Structures are given as structure tokens and as C-alpha cells.
């Protein structure tokens, strides 16, 4: 059996009604012949969108086939025991050239009941934001279902949404149930559970190229929404720290750090029982491990198998990456 190594996958490009050009102009990823690109799926185990290895001895292999062959060696013993043949995380880049719909995702229990699927908890790292960019995360006041429905019916939903000003390097954690939308001008990386279940609540009455409005999921969303108001929606962290991991998100589904480095940094994963995903959104670096070296540049994501426990991340000038893995169950 071929030895595992840090794996890159072929990008899956998605054109969207709200997509733009930054996937190409900022990340250098050619999405032709699509008219635009709203999302790229960099590592995906979603049915119908299974990632395929791009380079090396395993090139052409589907992620599902890798899991079937390598099991815990790829995923980690506990991850494999909990997730089985389903890869637990989905990694995307998203370019919002217009506001996305206001939407919500169900939690595990509701998604299982309705769709036989996982729920969708996610996080966003905004690495490029235009001037005056905003997004929506949650409500701007304490809410209940009846009040929410009245605003929806009166077309005043935006009045109760919590709008956040957005700048480069902002982070938002969005547990399942939180109403949200990505605002025009955001280019971001998204780490999420493996799920494609979205309830679209409001789409600003826009129409597609054929003059059709998009489907709304008004009733389905009612039992999925968390109506509670929270004091803080944006994740606060030390943006100035370099050459050391800074924690951004920690939940049962994933832990994510950001690393901003201008010198080599050693990473020891002996204490986790999981694969690791690197998402590079600025600069370039190489992953040095016992059996070799893999170069990574802006716009690429890499899956480090669980069997590779010690690496050195060596910069080519400098780099910024997200580092994500599945935490141990308690």
C-alpha cells in the first residue's frame, strides 16, 4: 500500500448568483468556463462532490476511497470510530460579490431527523474585505419565534439582524441555528461540518438570469433558528501574534488555529488523534516531514494524514494559514 503523504485535492468550483472574480484575481484559481465563482470546495466528502487527490502517487483517488483503504491511518482512530466512511469536515473559499441570502443551518438532531444528515456548525476567516463590508450574524435584540415571523411577513427582517462591520482577519464562529449571511465584499475561508443543508430565509427578492426567484425554506427554518441574543458575535483574538498558533474556534466538530509565520515552526500532533487540514490564504510555505516535503501556496488546502505526527512548516518569505483538526471526544 502506498505510504500516505500531505494530500492536495482538485478544486471543485461553484458558480453562484452572488459570485465574483476574486477566486481568480486574489487566489489565482482559474474557474473557467464558469461565468463567476462563488465558492470553491477544497476538501469535501459531500455526496456528489467528493474530492479527488491532485498530486503524487495517490493522484486520481477519491477521498472516500482513501478512507476505505487507510481508515484510522488517514483520519485518526477516534475520528474513524465516530465518523466511519464519512469525512467529517468541509473546507471552502467563498467570494461574495453580492450579499448571500439570509439563512440558517439545522443542528445534528434536526438534520438527522429531516435529512439523515449532519447539521452544520461553521466558522469564517475573512482574509480580504472591501471597504465598508458588513455581514450578518444573529439577532440584534432578544428574539422569539412570533416576533421573528411578524418581521418576516412584514419584510422588515433586516431590522432585527445583527450587522457586523468586517475587516481583514476577522473571525466569526457560527453554531448551527444562528441566522447569518455573508455580505458583499467578503473573501473568506470556511471550515464546517460535512453538510450541505441550508434553509434560505430571505433572498432580497432578487431573480436569477431566467427571472426566477430562489426557493425559500420559511417553515423549515422556524424550528432550526436559535432566537437568543448574544453579547458578542465576532471572535476576539490576538491578531498581532506571529510564529505561534492562535486559537480561533473550539467545538466538538473542529478546532481551528491561525498561524502567521515568517520563520520555520515545528508542529507536534502526538496529542491529537486526528488528521490536520492546512488552508493557506497568504504567502507560501513547505511542509517538511520524515519522508519528504510538500510545497503549499496561497489558495491551496492540504490534508495531513493522522499518521504524520511531526512536521516543520518552513516559510517561503512568510505565510498565513488556518490549521484545523477534530478534537478528542471527552
Catalytic positions are: 200
Distance CA 97, CA 187 (A): 9
Cα 252 from Cα 170, distance rounded (Å): 22
Please state, in angstroms and rounded to a whole number, the distance separating the CA atoms of residues 192 and 213: 27
Q: And the C-alpha cell for 263? A: 520563520
| Contact in structure between 73 and 303 (CB atoms under 8 Å) | no
Residue 63: in which H helix or E strand, if any?
A: helix 63-70
Phi and psi angles of residue 176, each rounded to the nearest 5 degrees, phi first: -50, 140
* Strand, helix or coil for residue 193: strand
Distance CA 322, CA 276 (A): 10
Pairing assessment for the beta strands 255-261 and 310-325 based on DSSP bridges: antiparallel
CA triple 15-18-20, angle to 5 deg: 70
68 contact partners, CB below 8 Å, separation of at least 6: 85
- Other Cβ atoms less than 10 A from the Cβ of 245: the count is 16
For residue 258, give Cα distances in angstroms to 94, 171, 237, 244, 282.
18, 10, 10, 8, 12
Q: How far apart are CA 94 and CA 187, in angstroms?
A: 6
Closest-CA residue to 138 (of 159, 161, 155, 165): 161
- 233, 239 in Cβ contact below 8 A? no
Q: In what order do the strands lie in the sheet with 180-181?
A: 161-165, 134-139, 180-181, 102-104, 199-202
Amino acid at each position: 500500500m502506498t505510504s500516505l503523504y500531505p494530500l492536495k485535492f482538485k478544486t471543485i468550483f461553484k458558480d453562484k448568483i452572488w459570485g465574483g472574480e476574486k477566486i481568480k484575481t486574489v487566489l489565482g484559481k482559474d474557474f473557467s468556463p464558469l461565468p463567476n465563482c462563488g465558492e470553491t470546495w477544497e476538501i469535501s466528502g459531500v455526496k456528489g462532490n467528493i474530492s479527488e487527490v491532485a498530486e503524487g502517487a495517490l493522484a486520481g483517488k477519491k477521498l472516500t476511497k482513501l478512507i476505505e483503504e487507510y481508515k484510522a491511518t488517514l483520519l485518526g482512530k477516534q475520528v474513524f470510530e465516530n465518523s466511519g466512511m464519512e469525512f467529517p469536515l468541509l473546507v471552502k473559499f467563498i467570494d461574495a460579490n453580492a450579499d448571500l441570502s439570509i439563512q440558517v443551518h439545522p443542528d445534528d438532531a434536526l438534520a438527522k431527523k429531516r435529512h439523515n444528515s449532519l447539521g452544520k456548525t461553521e466558522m469564517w476567516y475573512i482574509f480580504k474585505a472591501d471597504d465598508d463590508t458588513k455581514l450578518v450574524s444573529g439577532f440584534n435584540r432578544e428574539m422569539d419565534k412570533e416576533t421573528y415571523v411578524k418581521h418576516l411577513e412584514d419584510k422588515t427582517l433586516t431590522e432585527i439582524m445583527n450587522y457586523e462591520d468586517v475587516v481583514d482577519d476577522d473571525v466569526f464562529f457560527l453554531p448551527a441555528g444562528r441566522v447569518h449571511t455573508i455580505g458583499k465584499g467578503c473573501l473568506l475561508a470556511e471550515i464546517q461540518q460535512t453538510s450541505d443543508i441550508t434553509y434560505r430565509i430571505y433572498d432580497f427578492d432578487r431573480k436569477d438570469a431566467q427571472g426566477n426567484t430562489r426557493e425559500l425554506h420559511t417553515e423549515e427554518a422556524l424550528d432550526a433558528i436559535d432566537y437568543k441574543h448574544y453579547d458578542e458575535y465576532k471572535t476576539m483574538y490576538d491578531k498581532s501574534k506571529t510564529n505561534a498558533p492562535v486559537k480561533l474556534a473550539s467545538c466538538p466538530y473542529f478546532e481551528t488555529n491561525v498561524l502567521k509565520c515568517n520563520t520555520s515552526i515545528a508542529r507536534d500532533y502526538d496529542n491529537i488523534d486526528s488528521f490536520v487540514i492546512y488552508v493557506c490564504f497568504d504567502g507560501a510555505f513547505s511542509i517538511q516531514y520524515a519522508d519528504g516535503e510538500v510545497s503549499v501556496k496561497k489558495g491551496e488546502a492540504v490534508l495531513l494524514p493522522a499518521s504524520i505526527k511531526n512536521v516543520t512548516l518552513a516559510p517561503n518569505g512568510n505565510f498565513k494559514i488556518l490549521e484545523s483538526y477534530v478534537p478528542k471526544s471527552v
